């Protein structure tokens, strides 16, 4: 979710299409905000199995449910851009402390931009996570903040060692090959993704080819890799290469994204599956994104909306 001015250091929103005018984007955002607000109560009811919810408690319930279904999880707090770094850090700390009381295979994904890359907040998070033996993992954002994110992470690793921390490497970035070497040197856990933010130095870089380049750079060297993609052929190829090199790895998918064929393949191949569960005050954009990826949910929401209008759910 957005944190600060779009395009700034604290912005975590994926970039918009460059062909769209700023005026058009503002209009589309206003419409999207109005639509999101109007259907949010319905989305909460219909899409509940597909979303992490608003609060840490709701996210924990989802993690418990997924654990019962045999899945490991990742919990990632999504901010709206209105929270302070202190408020964002407190949400992460709440997740860490609650996880320490549970027997879940789960780690916490953090977003450095909403934390303002603050070394003091990072040190506090690292100390609490290390004390509770809960892993922290840095999500990736734009190339303009990659260095700041790595510096923040480096400070945490310097105090507590790399095995309790992780970083994300987008195949879309040419710099990810250098970052892969750094991550291996730090003994970090690594998540490989295609990437939402383009490489400013190589905007036409092929994401899938880059993904496999990063995987090859890490194969036989990294301590552990999360292959985070819903691209079936790409996931199979990447995991095959890592296994051939004897590198520990798992498949990571996003909650709400269609993934039955991948999960079925992973089960047959003996590949561990981890589900990334986004939650928090950025719930509305997340929920709307889930709807876009699941046409059946759009139908269910529309049906609920019509029922409410006729005096059913949501009626006074």
Q: What is the mean pLDDT of the chain?
A: 85
When pLDDT is cut at 50, 70 and 90, the band that residue 48 belongs to is low
Q: Mean pLDDT over residues 177-201, rounded?
A: 96
Q: How confident is the model at residue 1 (pLDDT cuts 50, 70, 90)?
A: very low
Q: Is 90 exceeded by the pLDDT of residue 312?
A: no
In this predicted structure, the answer to whether residue 72 has a pLDDT above a threshold of 60 is yes
Q: Which of 234, 173, 235 is nearest to 205 (CA)?
A: 173
DSSP secondary structure letters along 179-197: HHHHHHHTT-EEEEE--SS
pTM (global) more than 0.85: no
pLDDT band at 182 (very low <50, low <70, confident <90, very high): very high
* Cβ-based neighbours of 199, under 8 Å, separated by 6 or more: 143, 172, 173, 174, 175, 205
Helix (H, G, I), strand (E, B) or coil at 135: coil
- pLDDT band, residue 2 (cuts 50/70/90): very low
Tokens 């945490």 locate to 156
190-210 confidence digits (pLDDT tens): 999 999 889 988 999 999 999
The confidence score (pLDDT) of residue 315 equals 30
Output 46 or 90, whichever has higher pLDDT.
Answer: 90
Instruction: Look at residue 172 and tell me whether its pLDDT is greater than 70.
Output: yes
Is the distance from CB of 149 to CB of 112 less than 8 angstroms? yes
Please provide the distance, in angstroms rounded to a whole number, between the alpha carbons at the two ends of the chain: 32
Distance from C-alpha of 195 to C-alpha of 170, rounded to nearest angstrom: 5
Specify the higher pLDDT residue, 21 or 75. Answer: 75
Residue with tokens 């892993």: 135
The CATH code belonging to domain 56-281 is 3.20.20.220
- Among 225, 29, 8, 192, smallest CA distance to 113 is for 8
Which pLDDT score is estimated for 282?
75
User: In this structure, are residues 107 and 74 in contact, taking their beta carbons and an 8 Å threshold?
Assistant: yes
With CA atoms as reference, report the closest residue to 238 among 90, 297, 229: 229
- Residue whose entry in the numeric block shows the structure tokens 């993992």: 137
Give the residue, 130 or 80, on which the prediction is more confident: 130
Model confidence pLDDT, tens digit, residues 220-262:
999 999 999 999 999 999 999 999 999 999 999 998 888 999 9
CA-closest candidate to residue 267, choices 247, 246, 253: 253
Tokens of 223: 């301590």
The domain limits of the chain are 56-281
CB 140 within 8 A of CB 109: no
Better-predicted residue by pLDDT, 51 or 87: 87
Pick the range with the lowest mean pLDDT from 105-114, 242-251, 266-275, 290-299. Answer: 290-299
Residues above pLDDT 70, as percent of the chain: 73
pLDDT at 123 over 60: yes
**d(C-alpha 199, C-alpha 201), whole Å:** 5
pLDDT of residue 266: 98
């Amino acid at each position: 979710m957005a944190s600060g001015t779009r395009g700034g250091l604290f912005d975590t929103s994926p970039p918009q299409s460059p062909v769209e005018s700023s005026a058009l984007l503002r209009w589309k955002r206003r419409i999207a905000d109005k639509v999101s607000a109007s259907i949010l109560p319905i989305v909460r009811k219909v899409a509940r199995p597909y979303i992490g919810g608003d609060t840490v408690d709701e996210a924990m319930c989802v993690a418990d449910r997924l654990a019962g279904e045999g899945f490991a999880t990742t919990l990632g707090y999504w901010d709206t851009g209105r929270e302070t770094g202190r408020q964002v850090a407190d949400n992460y700390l709440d997740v860490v402390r609650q996880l320490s009381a549970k027997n879940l295979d789960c780690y916490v994904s953090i977003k450095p931009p909403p934390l303002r890359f603050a070394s003091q907040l990072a040190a506090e998070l690292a100390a609490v996570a290390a004390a509770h033996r809960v892993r922290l993992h840095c999500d990736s954002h734009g190339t303009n903040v990659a260095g700041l994110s790595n510096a923040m992470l480096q400070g945490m690793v310097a105090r507590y060692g790399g095995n309790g921390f992780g970083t994300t490497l987008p195949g879309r970035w040419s710099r990810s090959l250098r970052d892969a070497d750094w991550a291996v040197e730090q003994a970090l856990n690594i998540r490989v993704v295609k990437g939402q933010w383009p490489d400013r130095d190589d905007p036409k870089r092929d994401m899938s080819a880059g993904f496999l380049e990063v995987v090859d750079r890490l194969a036989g060297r990294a301590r552990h890799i999360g292959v985070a993609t819903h691209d079936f052929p790409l996931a199979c190829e990447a995991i095959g290469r890592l296994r051939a090199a004897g590198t520990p790895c798992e498949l990571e998918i996003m909650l709400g994204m269609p993934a039955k064929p991948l999960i079925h393949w992973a089960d047959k191949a003996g590949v561990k599956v981890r589900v990334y569960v986004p939650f928090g005050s950025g719930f509305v954009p997340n929920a709307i994104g889930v709807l876009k990826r699941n046409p059946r949910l759009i139908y269910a929401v529309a049906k609920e909306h019509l029922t409410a209008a006729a005096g059913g759910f949501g009626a006074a």
